[in-house]
């Protein structure tokens, strides 16, 4: 592990150097014998002018002017547009959707376009801008190279060539290397396959696949990375500088899953996600990509409660306490399928307040958000376990009243607050549908209800998502 760090730094420095060079080098996209004309794009069904302008990084008005378009609705599929603002580029261009696992380098290598030229074509000034799902512009004539993706260990290119039954020079040419000693441990090389084999853009070695669910992560919701990695012994992840634990998912061969709770007040934007896979044979593979976090659709609400309970120090103390109780991530998973609502009809669909609401207490500033989903109910309405788990806390708190916490494994917890009675004990195993407590009005409340929380990797997330969809 210690030896990986300088390698990563070297890659970053290389990226910076290449992108620096990008500003000075001309680019020629060879295609279709268009000579020295401006590059072109053929409109596809469903394209809008603003989509096209966004994909090519040009202003809509500049795009309209270059094509003498006065009415943006006059665009039709099959129409050829010239693309301004790409001096030195010629030929026909297409827009390709990238997936999680594609990088500027892997796409460049697969399409035989140097990374700095690809960066220039896409107006990228940093590899960080190559986020998962980004549409990228490539020459139409460029087709992804087919072949096995070889993960290099501490071996020479010659050894790698022997392992894949290739000549060294075939590897050198297929991967745009400058020389035989150009490949470094951890690099993923294309071992060219014969005609007819399907090409790929991914940076992952053969036998690996990763999916980001959903493709863009949302404030206050649960982000998921599903990885299959043949031969993996250990996977560690990091999101925005924080550890993101991966767990073995036994239902899928070579399956691993990481779940990440996104803060409800996280600034929308792009965030770095990285993972490092260590194989049983000692080779390791590292990958980093930016992931988009978009705004959730949350509303504002005003509440009045006894001023004595708004003590910020008390709030912080209680939050720290709940954080401690929900911090550990158990490698065993106790749930299967969707979670069930913790109350039965007619209360199961009745919510006095939703997750994520920006809250204003006693006419103060909007300073906090609602960390759970509230369910209606009377004092004594039964509460049921939404999924299997282990009870890790039962006790009384000042703000949340009588609280029960269930650990469902993989860093997923549920919390039951303001109860009139808790009917389970710490250490007890519960199953989906077990009676665990009764609705009450203990703690900081305006009336009887159940405040239900789902916490993932220490972060409160929208519980509705756990009722609506299956994780993983
Ligand atoms: Zn609540």
The pLDDT score that the predictor gives to residue 365 is 61
338 Cα–ligand 1 center, Å: 21
451 Cα–ligand 1 center, Å: 4
353 Cα–ligand 1 center, Å: 7
The pLDDT score that the predictor gives to residue 292 is 95
28 Cα–ligand 1 center, Å: 59
Reply yes or no on whether the pLDDT at 25 is more than 50. no
| Of the candidate ranges 28-32, 209-213, 333-337, 451-455, the one whose mean pLDDT is the lowest | 28-32
321 Cα–ligand 1 center, Å: 17
408 Cα–ligand 1 center, Å: 21
Beta bridge partners of 391: 406
Question: Residue 356 — φ and ψ, nearest 5°?
Answer: 90, -10
pTM score, whole prediction: 0.85
* Mean per-residue pLDDT, 241-253: 94
- Decide which of 3.10.350, 2.170.120, 2.60.40, 3.40.50 is the CATH code for 147-192: 3.10.350
Q: How far apart are CA 216 and CA 383, in angstroms?
A: 33
DSSP per-residue codes, 78-90: T-EEE--S-TT--
Q: How far apart are CA 413 and CA 371, in angstroms?
A: 13
427 Cα–ligand 1 center, Å: 25
Question: What value does the mean pLDDT of the chain take?
Answer: 88
370 Cα–ligand 1 center, Å: 6
Q: Does domain 212-294 have CATH number 2.60.40.10?
A: yes
Alpha helices by DSSP H, 112-226: 115-121, 157-163, 168-174
pLDDT confidence bin for 347, thresholds 50/70/90:
very high
470 Cα–ligand 1 center, Å: 23
Q: Is there a shared CATH topology between the 147-192 domain and the 212-294 domain? A: no
222 Cα–ligand 1 center, Å: 19
- Decide which of 3.90.870.10, 3.30.565.10, 3.10.350.10, 1.20.1530.20 is the CATH code for 40-85: 3.10.350.10
The pLDDT score that the predictor gives to residue 358 is 86
253 Cα–ligand 1 center, Å: 40
219 Cα–ligand 1 center, Å: 18
Reply yes or no on whether the pLDDT at 33 is more than 70. no
Nearest to 393 by CA among 375, 414, 411, 374: 414
375 Cα–ligand 1 center, Å: 8
Long-range contacts of 314-322 (CB under 8 A, 24+ apart): 314/398, 314/399, 315/368, 315/399, 318/397, 318/398, 318/399, 318/400, 321/397, 322/400, 322/403, 322/405, 322/415
Alpha helices by DSSP H, 57-134: 60-66, 104-111, 115-121
Q: Is 64 helix (H, G, I), strand (E, B) or coil?
A: helix
The pLDDT score that the predictor gives to residue 263 is 96
130 Cα–ligand 1 center, Å: 38
401 Cα–ligand 1 center, Å: 11
The pLDDT score that the predictor gives to residue 373 is 98
Each domain of the chain, given as residue ranges in start order, spans 40-85, 147-192, 212-294, 300-468
400 Cα–ligand 1 center, Å: 9
CATH superfamily of 300-468: Glucose Permease (Domain IIA) (2.70.70.10)
Say if CB 205 and CB 188 are below 8 A apart.
yes
* Mean per-residue pLDDT, 232-259: 96
Q: How far apart are CA 472 and CA 461, in angstroms?
A: 15
294 Cα–ligand 1 center, Å: 24
Residue 100, token pair as written in the block: 């999680």
Beta bridge partners of 303: 361
Q: Which residue has the tokens 């809509």?
A: 60
The predicted-structure confidence for 82-108, as pLDDT tens digits, reads as follows: 999 888 888 999 998 889 999 999 999
Q: How far apart are CA 370 and CA 462, in angstroms?
A: 10
Nearest to 343 by CA among 402, 421, 416, 428: 416
* Mean per-residue pLDDT, 389-410: 97
* Mean per-residue pLDDT, 227-239: 97
What is the end-to-end Cα distance of the chain in Å, rounded? 29
* Mean per-residue pLDDT, 372-392: 98
The pLDDT score that the predictor gives to residue 405 is 98
| Of the candidate ranges 13-17, 35-39, 71-75, 342-346, the one whose mean pLDDT is the lowest | 13-17
Reply yes or no on whether the pLDDT at 7 is more than 70. no
* Mean per-residue pLDDT, 454-461: 97
Q: How far apart are CA 400 and CA 449, in angstroms?
A: 11
pLDDT confidence bin for 394, thresholds 50/70/90:
very high
Instruction: Pick 181 or 453 by higher pLDDT.
Output: 453
pLDDT confidence bin for 281, thresholds 50/70/90:
very high
The pLDDT score that the predictor gives to residue 180 is 72
The percent of residues in the chain predicted with pLDDT above 90, rounded, is 69
The percent of residues in the chain predicted with pLDDT above 70, rounded, is 91
pLDDT confidence bin for 367, thresholds 50/70/90:
low
214 Cα–ligand 1 center, Å: 26
């Amino acid at each position: 592990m210690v030896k990986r760090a300088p390698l990563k730094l070297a890659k970053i420095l290389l990226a910076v150097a290449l992108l620096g060079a990008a500003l000075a080098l001309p680019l020629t996209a060879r295609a279709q014998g268009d000579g020295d004309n401006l590059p072109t794009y053929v409109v596809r069904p469903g394209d809008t002018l603003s989509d096209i302008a966004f994909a090519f990084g040009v202003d809509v008005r500049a795009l309209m002017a270059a094509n003498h378009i006065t009415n943006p609705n006059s665009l039709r599929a099959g129409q050829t547009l010239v693309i301004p603002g790409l001096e030195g580029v010629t030929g026909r261009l297409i827009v390709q959707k990238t997936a999680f696992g594609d990088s500027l380098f892997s796409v460049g290598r697969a399409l035989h376009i140097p990374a700095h030229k690809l960066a220039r074509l896409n107006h990228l000034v940093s590899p960080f801008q190559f986020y998962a799902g980004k549409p990228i512009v490539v020459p139409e004539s460029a087709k992804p190279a087919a072949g096995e993706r070889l993960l290099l260990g501490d071996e020479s290119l010659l050894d790698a060539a022997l392992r894949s039954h290739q000549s060294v020079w075939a590897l050198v040419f297929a991967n745009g290397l400058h020389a035989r000693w150009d490949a470094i441990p951890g690099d993923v090389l294309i071992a060219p396959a014969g005609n007819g084999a399907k090409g790929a853009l991914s940076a992952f070695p053969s036998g690996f696949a990763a999916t980001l669910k959903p493709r863009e992560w949302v404030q206050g919701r649960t982000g998921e990375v599903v990885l299959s990695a043949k031969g993996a012994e250990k996977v560690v992840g990091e999101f925005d500088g924080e550890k993101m634990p991966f767990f073995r998912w036994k239902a899928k061969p070579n399956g691993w899953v990481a779940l990440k709770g996104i803060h409800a007040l996280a600034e929308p934007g792009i965030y770095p996600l990285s993972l490092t896979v260590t194989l049983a044979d000692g080779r390791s593979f590292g990958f980093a990509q930016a992931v988009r976090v978009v705004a959730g659709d949350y509303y504002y609400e005003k509440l009045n409660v006894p001023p004595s309970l708004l003590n910020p120090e008390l709030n912080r103390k209680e939050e720290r306490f709940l954080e401690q109780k929900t911090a550990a991530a158990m490698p065993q998973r106790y749930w299967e399928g969707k979670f069930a609502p913790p109350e039965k009809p007619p209360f199961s669909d009745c919510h006095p307040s939703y997750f994520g609401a920006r809250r204003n207490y006693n006419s103060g500033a909007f300073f906090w958000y609602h960390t759970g989903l509230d369910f209606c109910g009377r004092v004594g309405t039964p509460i049921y376990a939404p999924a299997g788990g282990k009870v890790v806390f039962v006790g009384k708190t000042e703000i949340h009243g009588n609280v029960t916490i269930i650990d469902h494994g993989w860093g997923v917890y549920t919390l039951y607050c303001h109860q009139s009675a808790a009917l389970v004990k710490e250490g007890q195993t519960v199953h989906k549908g077990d009676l665990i407590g009764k609705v009450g009005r203990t703690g900081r409340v305006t009336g009887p209800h159940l405040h239900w929380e789902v916490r993932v990797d220490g972060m409160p997330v929208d519980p509705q998502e756990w009722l609506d969809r299956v994780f993983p």
